[in-house]
Each structure stands twice: as C-alpha cells, then as structure tokens.
Structure 1
Amino acid sequence: MSAGERHALVLGATGFVGRHLVLALGHAGVRVSTANRSRESYRRLARWLAEHGHDEAPADLRVDFTKASPVEGELGDVTEVYNCAGAYRFGMTADEARRANVDSVRALVAFAARLPRLRRLVHVSGYRVGGQDPRPWSEERRRATYRALGAYEASKVEADAVFRSEAERLGVPWSVVNPASVIGDSVTGEAGQYLGLASTLRDLWQGGLPAVPGDARTFVPVVAVDYLARFMTLLPVDEAAERASYWLLDDETPTLPGLIALVAEHYRVTAPRARVPVAVVKRLPRRLTKADPETLTFLSSDRYPTASARGFADRHGLTMPDTHTTIRRWADHLAASRFGDAPAGGRRFTAPGGVRTFELGEPGAPTVVLPGLPVNADTWAPVVAALGRARAADLPGLGMSAGDRDDWPSWLTALVTETGARHIVGHSIGAAAAVEAASARPDAVERLTLVAPFFLQARPASTPRLLARRYLGRVSPRALAERLTGDPALAAALESSVADLRRGAAATAARLLTAAASPRWRADLRAELARHPGHVHVVVGSRDPLSPEGRALLDTLPRAAVTVIPEAGHHPQLTHPQEVARAVGAGNRSPGASAVGPSGRATRSRG
C-alpha cells in the first residue's frame, strides 16, 4: 500500500506523542485526520504543526467516548487508527483513571471494528504495563492491582489487557507499542510534558535533588519522541507487525544514577552522591521526598524484551538516535523552557566561545540585548518580541548562562564573530559588556545602544560582596521588584530572575555589583566608549539620569543620541517595555535619524 492510499486517524493528536506522530505521518505523505475534543485544541495542534514545517493541516473531527460512535465524520476510507489518547496524570481516582484509559480503549476498539478498510489499529501502551494477560479481570484482581500500582499505572495495565482481548474478540487487526519514558526530539530536544523523569531533572537543575532514588541498577529507560513516531508510522504497512507488541527503548540507556550524572555534568551542577532505596522512599513523608507515590513503581532494575522492536527497525532501515546526545538535547530544552513555566518557542542554549549561554528571541539576529543586574534575559522578552529581529543573551554566570566575568573577552568576541551580533544593546552591567565588545571588534559592531549605562551615571555606594551575595541569594520576587522598580506588583516578572539567583547566579551578580563601583573600571569604560567610531544611542529613565560627566562625554561623540523615558528608573524594560522597544528600534534606523522616545525628548544624532 502506497503512502497516497493511506488515511490515518489519530486520537490524542494534541498530546506530546500524538502531535509528533501527525508530523511523522505528514512527512511520510500519509493523509491524516485527527479526532479532537474541541475546535480550540485542534487550532493549537494546527499552529504547532505549521511551526514545525507541516503547513497542510489534518482534518478536524470530534471525539466523545461517551457516545455509541465516538468519532464523527467521513471515515469509510480510513486505513489505520492510532490511539495516543488517554490521561497521563498522577493523583486520579480509580474511576477517573478507568474512564480515561480503559473505557476509552474499549469504545475505540468497537469503533475500529466498524471501519471497512481498516488495516491496523495501533495502541500506545507502556514499557511497564505492556504484555498483560488479555483474559477478563476479576473484581478482586482489579482492586488489588489499583491498590498496588496506583490509579494511573493500574489503568494502563488494565487498558493493555482490554485492548488486546477486545481486538481479538472483534477481529480487529492490531499492533501495540510499549514505549519507555518518552523524552524530547532527538534533533531539537523539544518536549511537551514535564512529569516523571523530567521532574527529577527539574529538581537537579534547581538544586533540590539531595539523593538519587533507587540503587546502582535502577533502570528508567528512555526513547526519543521522533523515533517513536517514525516507528509507529511503519506498523500498518508491515504484515508481520499484526498482533505484535513492541518495547521501544534503548537498552544502553544509563542506569538512573548514570543518567542523572550525565545531565548534571551537562548542566554543570553537582550530581547527588547519596542514594535512597525505593523501600525507604516509600516510607518517607511526601513533603520530604517530593515524589508522587505513583511514580515509585517505575523505579526498578527490570529489563525488557526489545529484540522484536530492534528487528522491526532493522527491516525498515530505522536507526535509533544516540541516546546520550538525545538526553542532553532534551535536558537543554527542559531548562530553556524552565520546565514548562516559560512561553514555548524561541528559547535555547548556545555556546559562543565555548561558554554555555542561554538566549531567547530570533536565532542569529543582528540585534543582541545583554541584560543588566540582577535580572535575566526573560525580563527583556517583551522588548525583544516588540523589536522583531532581536535576541537577548544572559551574560556568563548570570541568568541561565554558565561561566563568569573572566569569560567576557572570549565570549564577547565570539558573540560578534561567531553569532553575527552587529547592534549590541547593553543594559546596566550589560552596557559595560557592550562597550568591551565594541572595543575589541570596532570593525564589526556597527551600533551600540546603552540602556542605563552605570558608568555614565552617578557612582553607586559600594556594597560588600558577601552581603550582596547573601541578599541576592535570598531575596523574594516581591522584595526585588520593590527594590528595583518601587512597584511590588511586578514581582511575577522577576520570578525567573530570583530562581536564577538562587540557583547560583547570585555569586556572579554580587561580584559585578562590587566591580560597578570601581572608579578605575568606570573610567576605562568611558575611555573605550570615547574611542568608539560607530553610532551610540543612550537610553535612560528620567528618574535615573546621566551624570554631568556622562552627559559631557556623550556631547563629544560625533554619532551619539540620547533618549529619556519619562517616569522610568534603572530598569525601564520592566516598567516601560514598549517605550524601550521604540527607543531601541529607533537606533536601528539610518545614520542621521533622531532617536525619539514617547515624550519626544531626544538629542539628534550628529554625523
């Protein structure tokens, strides 16, 4: 059967596995219909597919498992049905879990039995629950299983048995995939769910993983979501796959301690050395372990029958991607997305000059924002979005970037030469970095925009580094918002900055705060700025003005402009993001243009 003759119906298409499956089917040339609970969920799927290069949206059908015919629409030519639906959630009651994961499977098999051209019904089960005895369960067995495993896993065990028994009874051709923990795309690392193993990596990233649960043999295998999706698309065209189950995982996945050590090295954090046996974890209060009791059954040294899946992949020339690389890319995506807390898209880790660097915005954009202290790139996200072709990058040792002040020379040079930064927007301490970058590569940096450049403003009082570090490592978002802007209502915008400070950025921030008061460094920066041959645009708030000395220096520069934002302080990106974006954008115009803020208060560029 050619791809053009295939018509796939995907249930659960808006989920993590489902949307990657739709993408893989589309790339294979298969016509796809998706069964969705609402029009809005379908729109989200269509947007995601378009963002991933699949512009031809699948057909939108409605699904309701409480109806006799759960899927409505023209389905007479459907050749394959994929069941990626169900509830992946801990804490459900047994009734909730059975309705979501067992009753839906029973209804789906009955529905599939009525499709005249069906060649295969593919069901996504799980590596810990697959291969169940398909005979009907007694009430006693059901109660015991749900009591022992918890509602989620027990419902998946029961669903696996119900699927195969009902498919055999009704004569439905079937295949089952039993994937391990499904992690991100093997190329991009992109993920869409943050339960299970992802939550362990979150604790590791945030410094809240004091011990590894289990022992040296504990095995939590993984599989890349794109590999799983490609594998599934091949099942309906392989007759040998009918009535077969496949365990999809990499047998070479490191044991759990090794996996955590691998990610810890990549995150540049210390891996916990202590290990706590699962039996002990089960007895500890949840407030201490932070582990859902239902997740503990996955901590096992069991191995799984993967030979048939490897043989199937070999027959079809499907190669499993390198798992270590996939884990690192997935770990990057999890951290860059702040484990689901940040808006999706436009967030990544790069490595200019070999320094692990977080940036957001358009990759390779010529305008680069370097944030100030003690905030991060996320505080500049609204400005970057308003600018368009722009990005913001955390300085070494700040925000989510690795490194330290000592990395500035090589990092700034690489930022210009390797990533194409041509217009550097430096805020506060970032203004110092911008000037140093321009001084190192005056031929390449075409334009400087300095927002609240501390070395052109009144010198701050010197703060002992230890006190600054202690304060920054403990400050709350509300207190920081009030200190930086006078408005505690801006606390939400600083939550990620506070998280970064607590994770370790406070040390670098304290060091730079102390350095900012140094008369010698301030004088050096002014001298370097005076030698810059390009365009310079300074943006300050009316409540955080230039010093007379700073203003006098700018008056000597032939290509300088100044914009004053009314009622703004030292962090205008927090209080006046649109005005800052307009001011920075004005600096992108041709030479001789005025840099005009909302108030019209500007100095015309000379030259």
Structure 2
Amino acid sequence: MARDLSRFYPVIEQLPSSLQQTIKPIVGDLSLPRLGMSSADYELLTDVDIIIHAGGPMNIRLNAAEAERAFLLPSKELAELAVQIHRNRRLKQFIHIVGYMSPYNEENGLTDQDAALRHAPPYERSKFHADAYLRKVLHKHEIPLSTVNPSTVIGDSVTGKTEQLGGLGILVDAVRRNLMPLVPGGDKHWLPMVHLDHVASFVANLVRTDDVASNTYYLLDPRSDSPTMSALINTIATELRTMRPIGSVPPALLKTALGAAIGERLGIPSESMNFIVNRDFSVSSKTTIEDMHGKRTSLIKDTFPFVIADLDFRLSHPAFTASEGFMQKRRSKIITLERTCEGPPLVLLHGTFSSADRLMPIAERLNGHRSILVDLPGFGRSPIPRGSSLIEDCVEAVTELILELEEPVMLAGHSFGGLIAAMVMERIEPRIRKLVLLQPVLHPVSTKYRYATITDKILKCINPYSIESELRKGGDFSNGGEGMERYVEAMIRDLKSSRIRHTNAWAMSLLTQTSSFRLRPEIWNPDKVRLLRGERDDAFRLPAPFRRFDIDSLPYGHQFPIEAPLLVADWFKSSIFS
C-alpha cells in the first residue's frame, strides 16, 4: 500500500522490469478508517496470504493523539482485515515491525504491561499498545504473528545511506555540535543498531519461511559484539573531527536535564535517551531464521564511517535530494552519485569547497551518458581519509574506483579535482580514454592558506558576505547572480561540518606547497588531454608545460563549471562525446 503513487513509482522503477510486473500498488492511508482504501481495493486484499505491517513514522516527538493515529488505529484496522482474510483462506502469517524497546514478547504478550509503559512518551506508548493489541487478537484467531523488533535503524550496509535524521542522527548531530562532553551511560550502556537493508532482508526471509509459528525477533547484535556508548561516541567524534568526550553521565540524569528548557534549546529530545540501554536481548530466534536462509544482520563495522558521513552531510543539507535517475553508491573508500546508461563512464571530480552534487547540473544535461560524480575523501558524503596524505588518499580512491569499473573511462576534474584527475591518469594511463581538466590547479595557491589550523578557525566563523567578497575579488564568478548565491549557501552549509571544514583547510594547505604538484605533462598523450579554462580567472595561470594540449576558453571565472553548467555540458557533447 502506498499513500502517494508519484513517490512509489520512481522507487519501483529501480527494479528489473520482470520484478516490476509482480508489484501491484494500492492507494491508502494507515491513519484512516478501512486504511483509506476504496471498496474495490479493499476487496482485493481478501486474497492475500501474508500481511507485512511496517507503517509508522520515526518521530519520537508525536503527541498522544498523533501517536494513536499513527500506530494503534492502523493496527486495529489491519487486525480486522487479517481476521477477515483468515476466515476465507488461511493467512500464512502477519509480520509486524515494532521496535526493540517494546516490553512484550512470547512470554508476556497476552498480559497487561501498562505499568512498564506508564512513563513512556506517547510515541512509544502507542507503538507498544499496538504491539499488544495485535498479539491478543491474532492469538485468539490462531493467526501466526511474527513480531520483528529492529534496534536503532541506521544506513544501508554498503553505502551507509540514512535518509531519516531521527535515531542515530540525533546523536551524530549532538556530537558534531560538540554537545557530548559526557557520554550517556559510559561503558555500561550501549545503543543497539541494525542496517536498514538488513531489516528488509530479514523480513523477506520470514516471508520465505514456511509453517512459521508466532515468535519475536530482535534485530540487533549481542551486547558483547556491540560498541559501548563510550566507544560509539568516540568513533563518531573521530569521524567528524570534533571534541572527544571527557567523562560520562547516567542516562536518567541526562534525560531529566534534557526534559527541562535546556533540551528544547539544544534541540535534543529527552526521549532519545530511552534508546540507550543497559540490558541484554535474546537473539536466538533471529539466529534461527538467519541460519535457515544464510543471511546475517550484523552491523558492518567498515560501513559505519559511511553512515556517519552520510548523516553529517544530510544534517548540513536536510533539503537535498539527488536528481532523478542518479543512485548513491559506494566505490571502495568513497561515495558516488551515478546514472547508468550505455557507453563509457564519465567520472567527474569536484574541487575544494565543493562536492559531487555541485557538478550534478552538468551530469543532468549529459542525459544518455553514463555519469559518475565523486565525493572525494572527507568531502560530501565520503568518510575522512585514513592515510597521512589527503592528496594521495584522493588519488588512491579514484584509482580504485576506475579499476573497479573494469573498462576505460573519461576522467574530468575541476580545480583541485583537476589536479587529482591528472595524477590518476599518470598512474593508470591505459584506463583513461580522455582526461578533461576544467580550470585545474597546477601551481601553488596563495600562502594565506598555508596553516590548516588557522584556515579551519577562519572558516568556522566566516559569513556569506565575506565569502562573496572573496569570490568577487578572485574573479571566481563572472557576476553575482543566482549561481554564486547557490554556491555560497551550499558552502556555508558544508562548513557547519567540522569534517568537511577540516578537509578543505587541509586541502588548501597542501595546495600552497610546491611538492603537491609533481606532474609530468611531458609524458602525457596529447590525443587524450583536453583543457577548458575560464579566461577571467586571474589567480590561476596555466604553466608552460601544459600549453601544448588542446585548450578551449569560456568567458567566465574559476567556478565556471558551477556558474555555467549547461554551457560546460554542451562543450562536453561537442568536444568530448562527438
């Protein structure tokens, strides 16, 4: 059931066409009587043999009326539907997604647990009342009920993509704002977590399980295999380049403090402390299903940095949505935005104070061409570099990406990305069909960026007017139009992240050093190299060894790929793809 088909179809279209044929959407609304469905659609449901109830918002701040409408009322409607189906034909099972904090299980599911919920917030209370209601009704009619209790749901187990900013996002937001000097619970408490796609695969395997009996499944790792709260927050702080905690505090005490006016001012709901626990959960029933189907739901530790970086980016850009047709993927150490089409891939690398999505307008215009937009290490959604050299980490990451593609690519880079692209070509020249340098940085920049620590502090305090002044002074934009305004807004949002701010300061410091520009253009194949430069950019000249290649100019400044993306895309079509 979908509330909005305009949002449903783009998701389904990502599946192979053969699978799309097997899915029939029904328009409805869980919060309405008879699930908001037409009589004809409601009648269709009497022929199903499994119900999966995974509806309900992730919003711990719902009031009592909102929470009842979101959880308890839908469960009553679905229970009535399940009973009707079961009378006509046996319902194989009813799968209900609840949450690991529910006090109900197979031992006490038919008893009253109101005492345990008396002090729970409306969100949890209604959610768990719905759990109890379904347990009692379905038990009475002998309908098998599989209650799936996910722990805190985090991003995809490969890409780390986490679209909801609740849950772990609240903790990441607090750490990135340096509001976690004390760890809730320290080493004695923990936050159970599970990847979003692991929840989906577990439910899918339940559907494939025949003759299932009613059971409760906790989707989490054993406590012994999970990080303590201290380890978790230290990891987040390391990934975000923020202050590490200096001590711990009892969660109950912190919850009391957040329940006062301070919680409202800090933007940290006191209810978020409820998910930090000091208890164990049984995973035996979950393990039985996993053993049966061979699919584990354990936390992928190598993916956790991607989860944190993705949440960090989304907290800075909450309104961002990738353009239609582009998918977020993980390639080795970095995140990419990709559109799959025929033909050789075009890999696009951004510059400093930028990310993959700033080059999206160029890729959108190149409709019909396979485009791969890269978030370099520490920028955008990609985790911080692991090595001692940012430039070397960027070169290694892009090199691994291209080798992973297993076919030659067209490689383009803007500014700092142009330098990285040139270094990658020198390393794996046979895998590069064409190297396109868009206003590349090929000589040291101003020494005012020499000290990364000072640059970081300046960037932390910089305002839009100062940025605009610098851009105008440097001739980065040919005018002060919407292109510059959008760039400045995105840059200010980026700089709210200590991770991204630190990476930019580090990159600019490296670009002041002559040793960062060890290129050998004399060995490049001139048939493979094209340069496109902004002729109004006075700060970056083209060193003599690079003037032997084909060079085109546009009447713009340094940021011309961002200011005039359609013009750049048309140049690609006529000069590179023709």
Name the TM-score class by shorter chain: 0.7 to 0.9
Give the Cα–Cα distance (whole angstroms) in 2 for the partners of residues 508 and 169 of structure 1.
60
Per-residue deviation, 1:571: 0.6
Alignment match, 2:285: 308
Q: 1:346 to 1:320 in 2, by over 3 A?
A: same
Alignment match, 1:19: none
Q: Deviations over 1:301-347 (max 9, x none)?
A: 02223333334444x24442442437527626734863683435533
Q: How does 1:113-512 map to 2 (within 5 A)?
A: 113-115=83-85, 116-117=88-89, 118-131=91-104, 145=117, 148-204=119-175, 209-235=180-206, 241-251=212-222, 252-262=225-235, 271-284=244-257, 285-287=262-264, 290-314=267-291, 316-325=292-301, 328=304, 331=307, 334-335=310-311, 338=314, 341=318, 342-344=320-322, 346-351=327-332, 356-361=333-338, 366-387=345-366, 388-395=369-376, 400=382, 402-403=384-385, 406-409=389-392, 411-412=394-395, 415-416=398-399, 419-420=402-403, 422-439=409-426, 445-455=432-442, 462-463=447-448, 465-466=450-451, 468-477=455-464, 479-481=466-468, 483-484=470-471, 485=477, 487=480, 489=482, 490-501=484-495, 502-506=497-501, 509-510=504-505
Of 221-230 and 358-367, more deviation after overlay is shown by: 358-367
Q: 1:36 to 1:200 in 2, by over 3 A?
A: same
Is the CA contact (8 Å cut-off) linking 2:345 and 2:370 kept in structure 1?
yes
SS of the equivalent of 2:45 reads coil
SS of the equivalent of 2:164 reads coil
Q: 1:61 aligns with which of 26, 30, 45?
A: 26
Q: Kindly provide the amino acid, as one letter, of the partner of residue 301 in structure 1.
A: N
Q: 2:562 aligns with which of 556, 574, 593?
A: 574
SS of the equivalent of 1:59 reads coil
SS of the equivalent of 1:309 reads helix
Give the Cα–Cα distance (whole angstroms) in 1 for the partners of residues 155 and 489 of structure 2.
26
SS of the equivalent of 2:20 reads coil
SS of the equivalent of 1:286 reads helix
Q: Kindly provide the amino acid, as one letter, of the partner of residue 536 in structure 2.
A: R
Per-residue deviation, 1:161: 1.5
Q: 1:208 to 1:438 in 2, by over 3 A?
A: farther
Percent identity for Structure 1 against Structure 2: 23
Q: Deviations over 1:132-190 (max 9, x none)?
A: 7666979xx59x946x1111011112111211222244554433222222334445544
Of 265-274 and 153-162, more deviation after overlay is shown by: 265-274
Per-residue deviation, 1:197: 2.0
Per-residue deviation, 1:575: 1.5
Give the Cα–Cα distance (whole angstroms) in 2 for the partners of residues 103 and 164 of structure 1.
15
Q: Deviations over 1:223-249 (max 9, x none)?
A: 334443344345467676434333332
Q: Which has the higher contact order (CA 8 A, sep 6+)?
A: 2
SS of the equivalent of 2:84 reads coil
Structure 1: gaps (5+ residues): 1-34, 591-607
Q: 1:103 aligns with which of 53, 62, 73?
A: 73
Q: 1:279 to 1:367 in 2, by over 3 A?
A: same
Per-residue deviation, 1:74: 1.6
Whether 1:534 and 2:496 are equivalent positions in the alignment is no
Q: 1:367 to 1:296 in 2, by over 3 A?
A: same
Give the Cα–Cα distance (whole angstroms) in 2 for the partners of residues 187 and 434 of structure 1.
25
Q: 2:52 aligns with which of 64, 82, 85?
A: 82
Whether 1:563 and 2:553 are equivalent positions in the alignment is yes
Is the CA contact (8 Å cut-off) linking 2:468 and 2:488 kept in structure 1?
yes
Is the CA contact (8 Å cut-off) linking 2:395 and 2:424 kept in structure 1?
yes
Give the Cα–Cα distance (whole angstroms) in 1 for the partners of residues 420 and 204 of structure 2.
50
Per-residue deviation, 1:90: 2.0
Of 104-113 and 530-539, more deviation after overlay is shown by: 530-539
Per-residue deviation, 1:113: 0.8
Is the CA contact (8 Å cut-off) linking 2:413 and 2:437 kept in structure 1?
yes
Q: Kindly provide the amino acid, as one letter, of the partner of residue 498 in structure 2.
A: R
Is the CA contact (8 Å cut-off) linking 2:390 and 2:507 kept in structure 1?
no
Q: Deviations over 1:11-50 (max 9, x none)?
A: xxxxxxxxxxxxxxxxxxxxxxxx2223334324423545
Per-residue deviation, 1:573: 2.2
Q: 1:482 to 1:545 in 2, by over 3 A?
A: closer
Give the Cα–Cα distance (whole angstroms) in 2 for the partners of residues 337 and 202 of structure 1.
11
Q: Kindly provide the amino acid, as one letter, of the partner of residue 303 in structure 1.
A: D
Give the Cα–Cα distance (whole angstroms) in 2 for the partners of residues 42 and 375 of structure 1.
31
Alignment match, 2:474: none
SS of the equivalent of 1:61 reads coil
Is the CA contact (8 Å cut-off) linking 2:239 and 2:384 kept in structure 1?
no
Give the Cα–Cα distance (whole angstroms) in 2 for the partners of residues 366 and 402 of structure 1.
25
Give the Cα–Cα distance (whole angstroms) in 1 for the partners of residues 221 and 445 of structure 2.
56
Is the CA contact (8 Å cut-off) linking 1:126 and 1:180 kept in structure 2?
yes
Give the Cα–Cα distance (whole angstroms) in 2 for the partners of residues 430 and 156 of structure 1.
49
SS of the equivalent of 1:105 reads helix
Give the Cα–Cα distance (whole angstroms) in 1 for the partners of residues 24 and 416 of structure 2.
52
Q: Which has the larger radius of gyration?
A: 1
Q: Deviations over 1:488-542 (max 9, x none)?
A: 7544444554454452454554565466567x679x77x8446533244332335
Q: Kindly provide the amino acid, as one letter, of the partner of residue 584 in structure 1.
A: F
Give the Cα–Cα distance (whole angstroms) in 2 for the partners of residues 268 and 162 of structure 1.
46
Q: Deviations over 1:262-288 (max 9, x none)?
A: 555666776534322212212331156
Q: TM-score, normalised by structure 1?
A: 0.74
Structure 2: gaps (5+ residues): 472-476
Q: Deviations over 1:90-146 (max 9, x none)?
A: 2211011112111111121112111112232222222111417666979xx59x946
Is the CA contact (8 Å cut-off) linking 1:263 and 1:328 kept in structure 2?
no
Q: Kindly provide the amino acid, as one letter, of the partner of residue 123 in structure 1.
A: H
Q: Deviations over 1:174-221 (max 9, x none)?
A: 332222223344455444433112332354467664442223221322
Per-residue deviation, 1:576: 0.9
Of 251-260 and 290-299, more deviation after overlay is shown by: 251-260
Per-residue deviation, 1:569: 1.9
Q: Kindly provide the amino acid, as one letter, of the partner of residue 307 in structure 2.
A: A
Give the Cα–Cα distance (whole angstroms) in 1 for the partners of residues 199 and 506 of structure 2.
47
Is the CA contact (8 Å cut-off) linking 1:61 and 1:73 kept in structure 2?
no
Give the Cα–Cα distance (whole angstroms) in 1 for the partners of residues 236 and 215 of structure 2.
34
SS of the equivalent of 2:398 reads helix
Give the Cα–Cα distance (whole angstroms) in 2 for the partners of residues 429 and 235 of structure 1.
49
Is the CA contact (8 Å cut-off) linking 2:349 and 2:375 kept in structure 1?
yes
Give the number of aligned pairs. 536
